[in-house]
Structure 1
Amino acid sequence: MATGILSVALHMTGHEVLSLVAFVIAVALWLVLAFDFTARLLGERGRFRAEADTPAALTAVAATTVLGTRLSQFGWQTAAAALLALAALLWPGLLLNVVRHWRGRMPGGAFLGCVATQGLAVLAAVLAAVDRQDWLAWAALAAFCLGLLLYVAAFFRFDLHEVVGGAGDHWVAGGALSISALAGSKLTASPVWSGSAHTALRTVTLVALALSLVWYVVLLTAELRHPRPRYDIRRWATVFPLGMTSTACLSVAGPAGIAWLVPLGEVLLWIAVAAWLFTFSVLVASHLTARRAPAP
């Protein structure tokens, strides 16, 4: 997810070589995870059912839609549509399993229901614009509205103490609004809606983006005041919202007619790239340290 959205944003800003590198990495990671997902589904049913109940399972849907969005940017619409169909097939069962196991005082992973649903909205809206399929635009709108409702439901279950003590996935609280704004920008740009409907979509999109930027400031301030230097795999759930907020700014700028969002998105993009590089280097260092540690 984190690598794929950086590829999308780098393409949007004209950094094609870096975008292609990120895309290749994202595809390789997606294939590895898809193989692991399938192997557990077919060979480890008990483990699969247990993990399918956790919010992290929805990253399969979100990652697939991000990859599909990048494929559409390449002009590979058939492949993008195939990934949309795959994500849509996985989404209902995983979402229902996850929502059934929601509880109070949850970490940032609670917002992954919104992220996965808005990922469907983004890719459906992108393909609707390319193929001029109005029904797909309406499906994207339905996913967009449902995603916002899922965000509200997750917010009331989110443990706000995670802001000062979370291991990384607390950033999804803001990232979910960023992908909502991204979906809204694609819908706002569609010719399917005009008049008051277009105005409403633009307003909701701008509100979602504004709130995501507020979250960005709050979470960054909390990180500086309460450092969490130890590596955790959930730090990749920090990188994804950073990249998604950048992408949302870049995408909203045109349909909303707010030019200064472009330079803001570019600045946020390089922050996200730096975060990706730092997180990857810490990941490598932690594995090397573990391998060198003496056996007990």
Structure 2
Amino acid sequence: MTSPPGRPSPGTSDAPAGSGARSRPTVAQVLEMLRGTSPGAGAVVMATGIISVGLGRLGHASLSGAALAVTALVWVVLAAAFALRLGWDRAGWQAVAASPPGLTAVAASCVLGTRLSLFGWQTVAEILLALSAAVCPWLLVSVLRHWKRRMPGVVFLVCVAAESLAVLAITLSLAEHSEWLASAALAACALGIVLYLAALPRFGFRQVTVGAGDQWISGGAIAIAALTTAKLSTSPVWTGGAHSALRTGAYVLLSLDLAWCAVLALAEIAYPRPHYDLRRWSTVFPLGMTAEATLFTSDATGTRWLHGLGAVLLWISVAAWLLAAAGAARASAARHPELLPSRR
């Protein structure tokens, strides 16, 4: 049968032969991609957000603002994916909530809230703190009930979640001169350290040589505890012996973090793992958090040589972010070719 003039034959495309043109993704395809978003993608928000904080501390306002915009955009996308999974796949949502990567929802929200607070948006930061504080206990209990032996680095996300609440709380406390937030931050910081000690014997130390990137959370968790302790030491709520103890704690935790990160870096050199994996964002976040903890401790204690070290670590974090972003772009293009621009 011959088709009417001007119309393509059934089953054929009106695109020129060999053009390689692709149709635009449909709403259904976009929704399906959102539903399939890995909960571990929250590490992208965490990594980008903490780098934004560090860049802002070094005075790179434009770069920091750009990183903040990316952080907020990815957070919104992940929040939409979270809502879709809750509405359409309740069983899948509960499974995510019971897994350690689910805790990145708390940590990512708190990192974004911390950056927004430093930017001056205290009300939005308070909302993010309230949401995170409401969800965190339930997620923690769900994760702790499913703990096993020889787990990968995500086992330390219980510590990261608690400490991220503490960082946001003390940041808001310093901005708004709130004593109760300072006390809440201290309690969350202590809980995070206890959870780290509980997670340590469940960590499979072989991950140091074979892990795909999330083994670095073992160092990032110490780094965020160091940052929290350093911030607490600057609060006027803690004076005398309490101030000295917090200051000493910040030094000890930062020293442990730097030493362990050196071990992890040497392991990366001895056992290279160059391929991209989503868990590589869990390498970028600890690097950025270590840089920020070093920079803040330098400012808080007047230890000037730490500032130079923190600046070097921050630019290493930026380089790691760029490598992870390039890997993510290649992986996304291979997985979703329909999103690539049409070739005419």
What TM-score, normalized to structure 2?
A: 0.83
What's the CA shift string for 1:23-44, capped at 9, x where partnerless? 1111000000011111212221
Report SS of the residue matched to 2:304.
coil
Structure 2 gaps of 5+ residues are: 1-45, 338-344
Q: CA offsets per residue over residues 121-171 of structure 1, 9 Å max, x none?
A: 001001111111111100000000000001111111110000000010000
Q: Which amino acid is the alignment partner of residue 49 of structure 1?
A: Q
Structure-1 residue corresponding to 2:262: 217
State the AA in 2 paired with 1:83: L
Secondary structure class of the residue paired with 2:202:
coil
Superposed CA deviations along residues 173-195 of structure 1, whole A, max 9, x for unmatched, are: 00000011111111000010111
Matched, 1:27 2:72: yes
Cross-structure match for 2:230? 185
- The aligned residue for residue 101 of structure 1 is 146
Matched, 1:195 2:240: yes
Q: How far apart in 1 are the matches of 2:73 and 2:194? A: 33
Matches within 5 A, 1:77-96: 77-96=122-141
Q: Identify the match of residue 177 of structure 2 among 104, 115, 132.
A: 132
| Corresponding position of 2:111 | 66
Q: Give the residue type in structure 1 aligned to 2:155.
A: A
2:306 maps to 261
Answering whether residue 89 of structure 2 is matched by residue 44 of structure 1, we say yes
| Identity percentage of aligned residues | 52
Q: 1:285: how far off?
A: 2.1
Deviations 1:259-281 (A, max 9, x none): 11111110000000000001111
Is 1:175 equivalent to 2:227 in the alignment? no
Q: How big is the alpha-carbon RMSD for the aligned residues of Structure 1 and Structure 2? A: 1.1
**Cα distance in structure 2, aligned partners of 1:261 and 1:90:** 35
Aligned partner of 2:62 in structure 1 is: 17
**Structure 1 segments (4+ residues) deviating >3 Å:** 287-292
Rg (Cα) greater in structure: 2
Residue 79 to residue 290, structure 1, CA distance change in 2 (3 Å)? closer
The one of 317, 320, 327 equivalent to 1:275 is 320
What is the deviation of 1:289? 4.2
Q: Secondary structure at the match of 2:205?
A: coil
- The whole-number CA distance in structure 1 between the counterparts of 2:101 and 2:111 is 16
With the length of structure 1 as denominator, give the TM-score of the two structures. 0.96
CA distance in structure 2 between the partners assigned to 1:238 and 1:179 by the alignment:
14
Shift of 1:291: 5.8
In 1: Cα distance, 2:221 partner to 2:120 partner = 26
Count of aligned pairs between the two proteins: 292
Amino acid at match of 1:207: V
Question: Is residue 271 of structure 2 the alignment partner of residue 226 of structure 1?
Answer: yes
Deviation at 1:290, TM superposition (A): 4.8
Instruction: Give the deviation of 1:254 after TM superposition.
Output: 2.1
| Higher-helix-fraction structure | 1
Question: Residue 190 of structure 1 aligns to a residue in which SS?
Answer: coil
- State yes or no: 1:239 paired with 2:281: no
Taking the aligned partners of 1:204 and 1:42, their CA distance within structure 2 comes to 44
Do residues 75 (structure 1) and 120 (structure 2) align?
yes
**Equivalent position amino acid for 1:113 in 2:** V
Aligned mate of 1:122, from 150, 167, 187: 167
Q: Tell me the equivalent position of 2:295.
A: 250
Provide Cα deviations, 1:232-269, integer angstroms capped at 9, x if missing partner: 11011000001110000011112223111111110000
Q: Partner of 1:160 in structure 2?
A: 205
Secondary structure of the structure 2 residue equivalent to 1:85: helix
